Amino acid sequence: MSNPFELKKTSEKSKARLGVIHTAHGDVTTPIFMPVGTEATVKGITSRDIKELEAEIILANTYHLYLRPGTKTVAEAGGVQKFMAWNGPMLTDSGGFQVWSLKDLRHITAEGVEFRSHLDGSRHLFTPESVMKAEREIGADIIMAFDECTPYPSTVEEAEKSLAYTLDWTRRAKAWLDANPPIHGYPQFFFGIVQGGMHKELRKKSIEALKEIGPDGYAMGGLSVGEPVETMYEIADFCTSLLPEDRARYVMGVGTPWNLLELIRRGVDMCDCILPNKNAQDGLVYTSVGVLRYKGAKFAHQHDAPLDPNCDCYCCKNYSRAYLRHLHKTKEPLGWTLATIHNLRFYIRLMQQAKAHIASGDFEEWSDAIIPVLKQDAV
């Protein structure tokens, strides 16, 4: 395996870092937020929109693409980028979290996970080897190890058993990858996943074992699964203190804009979350003046006010809060698309600003000032 990550700078006041991930489909500057394109689509918008939003990398999910349309079909297209007409870098989650979340529909053993499809009830088996084969076929630039997401809360014994599965599966996955090279003509980088629940001794054990396995990068899984937010920050901070400085660090499935800034301060390079997309469909957007819930009656006559007065996205440059409220109330899909465009642009622009402030040496002061504003209710 090799290392796609290049560390450029670390802040003198915190663990905040600047870096670059080099992939065959382009460079990704970190810290980065990755829009979620679960089924080879960022819900409600086109690949042209993604490019205009200045997204540098997006992710898709192995579980969902395995079920529909099938990873062999994606491979026939030449890989997921060609399949969805997106010529930039991509990451695929292994589906471990999705299978774990099926609860009554899955059975976990040392071999892997037997599960029933949430679509039609058909039976399937995910093993580390079969998931790596699927990720080879999908063809993302960064592929994740198959893991078991440790639930919260969990006892030390429960978390230790879960971690044993994850580490064994990671060893098996890497062995399979070493014996089965990429099939689309470009390298795929393999990231291991740190598990261990909220138990620091198990997180340390996980990291030490992963270092021996030698993945190309490291993700922190099992966070934002119901634990207090301060616990999430504490565990992420603990993990980054032990992870290699020369490898990318990724917290999976997190979070709000202020979550991202807090994690960057603690040495995290990569984040992803469905919140920008999901909340857009629910009539909630993030703005530079706070969280805006534009469904309220008071917004019906705000014809001269964009969602965010300081945003440069297509939505904010052309449409009013009153119009977005109208689209939401009439359940017009355009409303979800426009709100998604805004939310994703807001996240991406926030990361661009974070990088600029790390470069100039005042990230900590800037983030301290902006976080309370981001968390307040916009009016």
Active site residues: 93, 272
Sign of CA dihedral 72, 109, 188, 82: positive
- Report which residue type is found at 285: V
All residues at 6 or more sequence positions from 269 whose CB lies less than 8 Å from its CB, including other chains: 5, 17, 19, 30, 31, 32, 248, 249, 250
Report helix angle 257-265 to 363-375, nearest 10.
Answer: 160
Cross-strand bridge partners of residue 107 = 114
Structure tokens at 228: 């207090």
All residues at 6 or more sequence positions from 30 whose CB lies less than 8 Å from its CB, including other chains: 5, 17, 18, 19, 20, 21, 248, 269, 270, 355
Q: Are 267 and 240 in contact (CB under 8 A)?
A: yes
Q: Are 317 and 345 in contact (CB under 8 A)?
A: no
